[in-house]
Structure formats: structure tokens, C-alpha cells
């Protein structure tokens, strides 16, 4: 009996080591072609449409939809296309003294060569920096998550996307 118990214990240890080995390999593997970051620029060129419902000015519930080409970080080569959908969360103003005001909830779909990335977040009207969540993706970005920093300037929007 002592011999059967020893063999059973030996098999249990071997199975345990194999399971740990498989788990370690699975946890450390990254998909082929996986990216850790993307850096692109949208000049704001393309087409944009404001959907203004019932009130003068852009107020709660009004929308902005746009699309246009995405450029590389150096702004020299086209690398994809951007699609934008924003809902006004707080009245949009362009006061000549106080400057721009208001707030949008925006969703971006970035169509890149290796797949799509979807971003979502609050964006203050006018120039500034906003943090967006990476909501998901397709293709090489199928399991995408992370955070994006959007910097709005008079020239356009810079996207620095950190994928986790």
C-alpha cells in the first residue's frame, strides 16, 4: 500500500508541475503582432455634421459626427481613418472673453491597417488634453484595453494610445 500511495503522490506532483507550466506559458504569451501603443494625428479635415435639436446653440443631446484621414505622429503619411460621434453633455459656448466652454461625450473609431480601435470619453470643448478609455478593437487589437490621451489644438487632435 505504501508503494501505491507513493506513486499516486508522484503523479499528483507531476500533474501540478505541468499545470503550473501551462499557466505560466499562457500568462506570458502576447498575440503575434500585438502593439503596446499607437500614436496618430487627425487634422480635423474630412466631413463634419452638427445635429442641433430644437434649441439655438449646441445643448444637451445635440450631436457632432465627423470622419477624416488619420496621419502618423509626424503628420507625413496617412495611416487610417477616424470616425467620431459626440453628444453634447453641457452647453457648448465660444465666449470671446472667457474662451470656449462645454463638454462632449465622444466615441472614436480609429480604422488602422491592422484593425480597428474604439475609444470613449469626456472631451472639453476647445483646446486641451483629455483621457479616453480604450473600449475595444478588432484584428490585431481584438483584446484591446488601455488608455488614450487626446490633445486638441487648433491644428487637430493628437492620439497617444497606451494598450495593456
Please list the pLDDT of the chain residue by residue as tens digits (164 residues). Answer: 556 655 666 666 565 556 555 544 444 444 544 558 999 999 989 999 999 987 788 899 999 999 999 999 999 999 999 999 999 999 988 888 888 889 999 999 999 999 999 999 999 999 999 999 999 999 999 999 999 999 999 999 999 999 98
Question: What pTM value is reported for the model?
Answer: 0.76
Cβ atoms of 71 and 89 within 8 Å: the answer is: no
Q: What's residue 30's pLDDT?
A: 47
Q: Are residues 77 and 16 in the same domain?
A: no
Burial annotation 131-152 (CB, 10 A radius, 16+ → b, else e):
ebebbebeebbeebebebebeb
The CA–CA distances, whole Å, from 102 to 47, 60, 65, 87 equal 22, 10, 17, 11
Q: Are residues 104 and 44 in the same domain?
A: yes
- Asked whether the CA dihedral 72, 142, 120, 134 is positive or negative, the reply is negative
Q: Are residues 75 and 153 in the same domain?
A: yes
- Total domains in the chain come to 2
Q: What's residue 65's pLDDT?
A: 96
Q: Are residues 85 and 153 in the same domain?
A: yes
Q: Are residues 18 and 73 in the same domain?
A: no
Q: Are residues 45 and 26 in the same domain?
A: no
Which of 53, 52, 43, 49 is closest to 65 using CA atoms?
49
Q: Are residues 8 and 51 in the same domain?
A: no
For 110, the domain range is: 37-163
Q: Are residues 24 and 47 in the same domain?
A: no
Q: What's residue 24's pLDDT?
A: 47
Write the Ramachandran bin of 98: left for phi over 0, alpha for psi from -120 to 50, otherwise beta. Answer: alpha
Amino acid at each position: 500500500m505504501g508503494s501505491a500511495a507513493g506513486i499516486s503522490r508522484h503523479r499528483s506532483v507531476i500533474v501540478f508541475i505541468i499545470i503550473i507550466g501551462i499557466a505560466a506559458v499562457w500568462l506570458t504569451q502576447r498575440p503575434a503582432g500585438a502593439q503596446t501603443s499607437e500614436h496618430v494625428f487627425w487634422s480635423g479635415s474630412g466631413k463634419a455634421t452638427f445635429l442641433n435639436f430644437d434649441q439655438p446653440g449646441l445643448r444637451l443631446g445635440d450631436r457632432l459626427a465627423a470622419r477624416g484621414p488619420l496621419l502618423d505622429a509626424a503628420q507625413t503619411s496617412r495611416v487610417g481613418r477616424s470616425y467620431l460621434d459626440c453628444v453634447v453633455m453641457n452647453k457648448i459656448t465660444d465666449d470671446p472673453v472667457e474662451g470656449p466652454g462645454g463638454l462632449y461625450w465622444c466615441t472614436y473609431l480609429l480604422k488602422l491597417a491592422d484593425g480597428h480601435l474604439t475609444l470613449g470619453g469626456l472631451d472639453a470643448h476647445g483646446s486641451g488634453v483629455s483621457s479616453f478609455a480604450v473600449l475595444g478593437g478588432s484584428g490585431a487589437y481584438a483584446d484591446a484595453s488601455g488608455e488614450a490621451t487626446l490633445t486638441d489644438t487648433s491644428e487637430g487632435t493628437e492620439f497617444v494610445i497606451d494598450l495593456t
